[in-house]
Amino acid sequence: MSDSIKASLVACPTCQKKSPWSKENPDRPFCSPRCKLIDLGAWASESYSIPQQTSEEDEIFSEDLVIDPNKSFL
């Protein structure tokens, strides 16, 4: 059997169209370069984000982070 026959079909993360997960599909897991660019644009515009959980430790140590206006970080 060739790779194209054994290849699993996966849903494109952008349009949900089924596309083969194989070496013949250089855009995997996307179905096309267009869907790949749409996803990249979503990351660039910060449409995707990872939720941040704060803890008591963050609140305790944030008091230590006093900004000194006389210091330059450049």
Where is 39: in which H helix or E strand?
helix 33-44
In a domain, 32, yes or no: yes
Q: Which residue ranges are tagged as binding site for Zn(2+)?
A: 12, 15, 31, 35
Do the domain assignments include residue 22? Answer: yes
Q: Is residue 42 part of a domain?
A: yes
Q: Which two tokens stand for residue 54?
A: 């704060």
Asked if residue 52 belongs to a domain, the reply is no
Q: What is the pTM of this model?
A: 0.56
Average pLDDT over residues 1-11: 68
- Phi, psi (deg, nearest 5) at residue 8: -75, 145
The confidence score (pLDDT) of residue 1 equals: 45
Q: Is the pLDDT of residue 9 over 50?
A: yes
pLDDT computed for residue 71 by the predictor? 67
What separation in angstroms does the CA of 28 have from each of 9, 19, 36? 10, 8, 9
Question: Exposed, middle or buried by CB within 10 Å (0-12, 13-18, 19+), for 25?
Answer: middle
Range of the domain at 37: 13-46
- The number of domains in the chain is 1
Q: Which residues sit in the known binding site?
A: 12, 15, 31, 35
Q: Per the domain annotation, does 54 fall within a domain?
A: no
